[in-house]
Chains A and B, each alone.
Chain A
Amino acid sequence: MRNSLFYKVFGTYLVITLIAMLVVGLYATRQIKSKLMERIDTELTSYTQIISTTPSLSKIISEIASLSKTSDARVTLIGSDGVILADSDGKASEMDNHLNRPEVQEARVKGTGRSIRFSTTLGINTLYVALPIKEGPAIKGYIRLARPLTEVKHYIQEINLLILQSFLIVGILSFLIAFVFTSRLTSPIHEMEQFTERLLDGEDPGSLMIHSSDETGRLARNINSMVMRLTEKIQFADEEKGKLESLLASMEDGILLLDANDRIEAINDASKKMFSTRFRDIVGRTTLEAFRNIDMQEALDRFKETGEPVSQEIILEEDQRALDVTVSPVHGLPENEGKTIIVLHEVTRLKKLEKVRADFVANVTHEIKTPLTAILGFIETLEGGAIEESETAKNFLRTIHEHAERLDRLVDDLLVISNAELGEIHFSFETVSLNGVIENALIVIERKASEKKLIVKKEIPDDLPSIWGDRDRLHQILLNVLDNAVKFTPDSGTVSIKAFDGRDGNVYIEISDTGIGIPNGEIPRLGERFYRVDKARSRELGGTGLGLSIVKHLMTAHKGRVEIKSHVGTGTTVLLIFPVFQEELTA
């Protein structure tokens, strides 16, 4: 409760006061006593002297009572031999020889004698003063006055009491004053102590409210300022740290910091996601322990050799992702020397796109070369002499024509695809009623369908909502899908087309067939250019491989989508979903 500083100061103060009073008291008492003694001594000596001048001993004897009264002392006349001649207090004859009394002896020798003795007769300290009565050089006798020091005793007692009383008063006063004074002194310090305690504990300490104008006040003000400045600095540092952390956390690229021993010191969230298949406690491990990736180690090794930043592409085995890795040295604060920073940039998509493009080019070349080779072959054969044989020549020419047409269709399709992807197809959108478009498309495939003896079923309500579309492109979409349906359905199968309002803001066109179907694993890849489930059969049937790709792109342009469901051997259903035309959406 009370701190030790308080007790120290208070205690010291009290002790000092006490000691002071004690010293003063004792000294005063002694002085007073001594002064008093002196006075009595002087008085008594004076009286004794006066009496000793009395020439006649007998006079003294007869007046001894009044002498005693006057001098307020016991008067004793002692003969030169020590015999008591007269005493104011008692019978002289009953008293013993006083020659050996010290005061008498001293008087005989020195001329004046005094002594203080405890008188058995009176029971108190008594002052004896003796003077010789001389007649010429001879001593006739001694006159001795004795006064009990009761006065002194009483007086001293009174003084002591007085002093004690003052002690008490002063003591209490001092106690109070000391208490208040010490409190005043130590409580600011106590407050500062608690203030710093709170600061150390990490709590907000408030501010010191000490207003005295002395050092403690100034100290308190200084502490307040210091705390404020410190808090500001810490806040600033925290903010900066926070900024940096959010920067690192929101980056898409992964960052790894390696310390001077090539152990992972820090990683950001993006790296954790990239390497999620490895473990969480990656910090403190070497890169080999953490990743076990040959390419990354190679990059690191090369960096170690050259000291120059190294960039390398690595493949993550487990999920076939491609990352661009850049290893560079860390610059800046001296404690960061020797550290390495690794930046990981996701390039999987890029690589996939590159692959798709490479595949596409390969495919296109192949698709073009195949019919061209055939055409050239036939032409050479004709040039070689087959032209003479009319029937053969006609057959060859027909085949050449078919191939050439196929090439033509291929180039058209390629153009459409390429333009669609570049966003360069020119659409002329208008409100279109799907009924008409569907009918037109059906007319076109009717011939092929009847050739294969396919049953064509249609279920198209008259009140289909209109959609916002490009008539020609819609025709192309429907044609492509119907064409596929017809193509891949064996003879005597069924192709059905159903359209309905889905009551969810969309119009649905469902085209189903009883064809060979598509394995489930292949369905996601159907939209890829040139993707064919069964290459041989598709080409045989005259396909370019781009049909569904085109459909996909055009559907996207119409803000719709395609869904395909299929069972191998049973058939395929293609669902075209168009948003219904709404005034506000014609942006």
Chain B
Amino acid sequence: MNMTEKSHTSIQYEKELQDIKENLLYEGALVEQAIEYAIQSLLERDSDLAQSVIDHDEHIDELDEKIEEQCIRILALRQPAAKDLRFIATAIKVNGHLERIGDLAVNIARRALDLNEVPPVKPYIDLPRMADITREMVKESLDALVREDCGLADVVRKKDEQVDNINEQIFRELLTFMMEDPKTIHRALLITQISKSLERISDHAESVAKMVIYMVTGESVKHQGSSGDCEK
């Protein structure tokens, strides 16, 4: 193989990797938007917005398929090694997480549609707070991916605990509501479902952060909880 051929292949290869990265980021942006709108549709009782979240999920699904296909292609044709291989592995997993987050946003939007039909149980205080932290986690995990920033990934992992706590708190509070007045059960259950969806989104965001650490350091912190540290 002569010199010109080799460099051409590199540029093309570079481009393919960059393309996957861009697509992932685009998917990330779509997902961030979906979460934002889903929560907004609940807090502002905007059913049209909720519906648009549900309708736009197909874009996320399309990207999910496309990215996966691109990754498999590279594995088959380029047989990447070391850093590139870790990147592809990360891309495949992060892609999966993002697609799931998109679906969870749709769930929230559906519950919002249901809740908008009925008067509110009480003003939403904890849910918005939980939603803010969750959205931060998603945003920061994607930022960490772009910047290859382990420190930021660690920040995300630590926030997961907060979200879990709020989730429990909401559950306990709504439990008392339901016990006091059975008429509120339907709405309360819907809210707990939303809370659960948010909690699961934050788990996915945490997984993305862990993948970033793996990609950067080569070490897997998958099952270390939030005690693992990253040095870079």
Contact = CB atoms under 8 A, between A and B. Distances in A.
Interface of A: 278-279, 281, 285-286, 288-289, 292-294, 297, 317-318
B33 A294 contact: yes
Contacts of A289: 21-22, 25, 146
B182 to A, nearest CB: 26
B29 A279 contact: no
12 contacts: A279-B143, A281-B147, A288-B25, A289-B22, A289-B146, A292-B25, A292-B29, A294-B26, A294-B30, A294-B33, A297-B26, A317-B36
B200 interface: no
Given A294-B33, A318-B139, A279 B147 contact: yes
Given A286-B22, A288-B26, A317 B32 contact: yes
Contacts of A294: 26, 29-30, 33
A219 to B, nearest CB: 47
Interface string B26-52: 101110110010000000000000000
A534 to B, nearest CB: 13
Given A286-B22, A297-B29, A317-B36, A292 B147 contact: no
A285 to B, nearest CB: 8
Contacts of B146: 285, 289, 292
A294 B18 CA distance: 18
Contacts of B25: 288-289, 292
The 10 closest A-B pairs by CB, nearest first: A292-B29, A288-B25, A289-B146, A294-B29, A288-B22, A317-B36, A294-B33, A292-B25, A292-B28, A288-B26
A65 B32 CA distance: 141
B100 to A, nearest CB: 19
A279 B146 CA distance: 10
B201 interface: no
B142 interface: yes
Nearest to A297: B26
A456 to B, nearest CB: 34
Nearest to B59: A294
Contact of B142 (A292, A293, A297): A292
Interface string B115-142: 0000000000000000000000001001
Name, among A285, A286, A292, A317, the residue most crowded by chain B CB atoms within 10 Å (CB to CB).
Answer: A292
Nearest to B145: A289
Contacts of B29: 288, 292-294, 297
Given A289-B25, A292-B146, A294-B29, 4 more contacts: A285-B146, A288-B29, A294-B33, A317-B33
A318 B36 CA distance: 10
> Chain B interface mostly helix, strand, loop or mixed?
helix
A289 B139 CA distance: 12
A293 B26 CA distance: 8
A48 B108 CA distance: 147
Contacts of B142: 292
A35 B25 CA distance: 107
A568 to B, nearest CB: 13
Contacts of B26: 288, 292, 294, 297
Contacts of A286: 18, 22
B137 to A, nearest CB: 13
A337 B147 CA distance: 29
Contacts of B21: 289
Contacts of A318: 139
A292 B22 contact: no
A156 B219 CA distance: 99
A281 B143 CA distance: 12
B187 to A, nearest CB: 21
A292 B139 CA distance: 9
Interface in B141-155: 142-143, 146-147
A289 B26 CA distance: 9
A128 B142 CA distance: 119
Contacts of A297: 26, 29
Nearest to A286: B22
A8 to B, nearest CB: 47
Contacts of A288: 22, 25-26, 29
Contacts of B143: 278-279
Contact of B32 (A281, A285, A292): A292
Contacts of B139: 318
Nearest to A293: B29
A293 B142 CA distance: 12
A174 to B, nearest CB: 63
Nearest to A292: B29
B86 to A, nearest CB: 18
B154 to A, nearest CB: 16
B105 to A, nearest CB: 13
Nearest to A291: B29
Nearest to A281: B147
A297 B25 CA distance: 11
A21 B18 CA distance: 81
Nearest to A279: B147
B110 to A, nearest CB: 22
A317 B36 CA distance: 8
A318 B132 CA distance: 10
Nearest to B18: A286
A294 B29 CA distance: 6
Nearest to A294: B29
Nearest to A278: B143
A288 B22 CA distance: 7
A430 to B, nearest CB: 48
Contacts of B22: 286, 288-289
A367 B139 CA distance: 42
Nearest to B147: A279
Contacts of B147: 279, 281
Contacts of A292: 25-26, 28-29, 32, 142, 146
A29 B22 CA distance: 96
A285 B147 CA distance: 10
Contacts of A317: 32-33, 36
Contacts of A278: 143
B59 to A, nearest CB: 9
Contacts of B36: 317
A317 B18 CA distance: 25
A391 B207 CA distance: 74
A572 to B, nearest CB: 21
Contacts of A293: 29
A507 B139 CA distance: 51
A297 B21 CA distance: 15
A475 B142 CA distance: 59
Contacts of B28: 292
Contacts of A285: 146
B70 to A, nearest CB: 15
A152 B21 CA distance: 105
A288 B21 CA distance: 9
Most A C-beta atoms less than 10 A away, residue of B18, B22, B29, B139: B29
Interface string B143-176: 1001100000000000000000000000000000
A269 B108 CA distance: 39
Nearest to B152: A279
A288 B142 CA distance: 11
